[in-house]
Amino acid sequence: MAKRKIAVIGVGKIAQDQHLPVIDQSEDFELAATVSTRGVGHHGVPVFKTPGELFAAMPEISLVSICTPPGIRHQYVREALDAGKDVMMEKPPTTTISELDDLVAHADRLGRVLYQTWHSQYNAAVDRTKAILAEQGVVSARIDWRESVRKWHPGQDWVWEPGGFGVCDPGINALSIFTKVMPFPAFVSASKLTFPANRQTPIDVEITFKSGQPHQPVMSAGFNWLEESGEIWTIRFETGTGDVLRLEGGGRSLRINDELVLQHGDAEYAAMYDHFADLLDAGRSDVDAAPLRLMSDVFLMGARVNGPDFEW
C-alpha cells in the first residue's frame, strides 16, 4: 500500500530529533513538506513559511503533524482542520483546556481525525506498571523530573513566556505517565512554583496530590530545570502488597524491589506514528486531556516564589 503523505508544521528541536527521523523510517508515512518560519526543510521536500501557503500549494496533502510551541497550536490546528486535514499534535496540546476542548469539538463536527500525542505513555514499562498498580493498588507515589533547560530548550525564550509552561513542559511528560498508570484519580492539593525573577514561567515546582481513596496514599512530585548532572526522570510507587516500583528513564525501564525487570530503547515516537496510522484507518480521534487538566490545576493551586534571575 502506498505511504500516506504528511507535512510537518514546526521544525524545531523535537521535530528534527524525533518526528522527521521516524517519518523517514516509517512504513506508513512519507514526508511531503515542512512549514517553518526559519525555512528549515528536510531532504529537499518543499518548505513553506505558513500552513496557509502549504495548503494552497499542495492541497493533496491530507495529513499534518504539528510540532510548534503550544501558544500557536490552537490556531494552526483549527486552520488545518478547516482545510480538511487530519491532525497529529505534539505535547503539550494547547495552552488552555478551553482551546483543547474546542479543537476536539471542531474535529468532531468536521469528521476529521485529531490525535493528541503523549510520547512518554508509549513504553512497555509504563503498560506493565499500570497493570501491576491495577492489581496491587498504590500506597505512595513520588515523581522526580529533573533536567537541564539549557540542553533541552537551548535559547528558546518561548518556554519562559506566559503559556510556555516553563519546567512544566517536561513535567507534563511525568503527569502523562502518572495519569495513565494510576488506578484511581489523583488531584492537586497544593503546589509551589518558583519563578526566576526575570521570567514568566516556573523553573522549579513541588506538588502534593490527594485522592478520594480511604487509605489516603501519599503522593507528590518535583520538577526542576537546572539539573546539570544528567536527566532524572523517575516515578516511584509503593504498592498495597509492599512492592516498590521505579519507572526510570522517562518510562523506559522498570525496577521492582531494585531488580530490573523491563528495559527498552527509544521507540516512543515510532509507536505514536503507528498509532496515528491505526486511527486514520479507523477514522477515529484520540485525545487524552488528563495530563493538561492536572497540570492546569498545578498552576491554579500554585503558591508563587521568586527565585534568582535566569540567563542562558
Task: Give the residue numbers annotated as catalytic, written as ranges.
Answer: 91
Check: CB of residue 46 under 8 Å from CB of residue 18: no
DSSP 89-118: EPSS--SSHHHHHHHHHHHHHHT--EEE--
CB atoms within 10 A of CB 181: 25
Distance from C-alpha of 69 to C-alpha of 18, rounded to nearest angstrom: 15
Edge-to-edge order in the sheet of strand 47-48: 47-48, 29-35, 4-9, 63-66, 86-89, 114-116
| Cell, residue 66 | 504539528
Check: CB of residue 209 under 8 Å from CB of residue 256: no
CB atoms within 10 A of CB 281: 10
User: Computed from CA positions of residues 209, 102, 100, 121, in that sequence, does the dihedral angle turn out positive or negative?
Assistant: positive
* 3-state secondary structure at position 285: coil
Burial of 96 per CB tally in 10 Å (0-12, 13-18, 19+): middle
DSSP 21-54: HHHHH-SSEEEEEEE-TT---STT--EESSHHHH
| Cell, residue 146 | 529533573
Check: CB of residue 290 under 8 Å from CB of residue 120: no
